[in-house]
Amino acid sequence: MSSARGQANQKLYLARILLTGWRDALAAQQLPVQVLTEAFLPAIRQHLGDAYGWFLLEVSGSDAVGQPLPHNCGDLPAPAEGKVVAGEIREFQQLETTGWLATMLQTDDAVSLPATRSPGNLASAAPNLIGPDDAEAWLENLAVLFGRMSESLDEY
């Protein structure tokens, strides 16, 4: 296992620890849900974003020494002349624009999922707070992607 993959796994592990603490604090019911979300969500996002950055370095074959950790595919160095962008990177680029990865990577510390409006109705529902289930889904989705793509990389 490469150093970058080891770092990614460490960040997933740290996010899982925070996720457990978040669930425990919610179960204790000593603080409002909003406060706990504001306390735990940014830290979990940071660890998951760092895990993603480390894995981007692994997939792209970039050396982490002397460069900041990427937070998205746009932060990666351009491929060497004559090299094409790896299929894994193209998949990540697509996931960064929509869906769960785009929500996870939000940098504005948003603590709610976008509210949806019913067609033909001017009212929209109150936004749903992002909770531990959402963060756990991000973590599990990253772990599955990392596993699948690692197997693909090992074949080359």
0.85 cut: is pTM over it? no
Structure tokens at 153: 């990389």
Q: Which residues contact 32 (CB under 8 A, 6 or more apart)?
A: none
Does any domain span residue 103?
yes
How far apart, in Å, are the Cα atoms of 82 and each of 58, 94, 96? 20, 23, 25
What is the tens place of the pLDDT at every residue in 1-33?
A: 468 889 999 999 999 999 999 999 999 999 999
Count up the domains in the chain and report the number.
1
In the chain, helix, strand, coil percent, each to 5? 65, 5, 35
Range of the domain at 30: 3-113+128-155
Does any domain span residue 120?
no
Does any domain span residue 88?
yes
Does any domain span residue 118?
no
Does any domain span residue 122?
no
What is the tens place of the pLDDT at every residue in 106-126?
A: 876 566 554 444 555 554 444
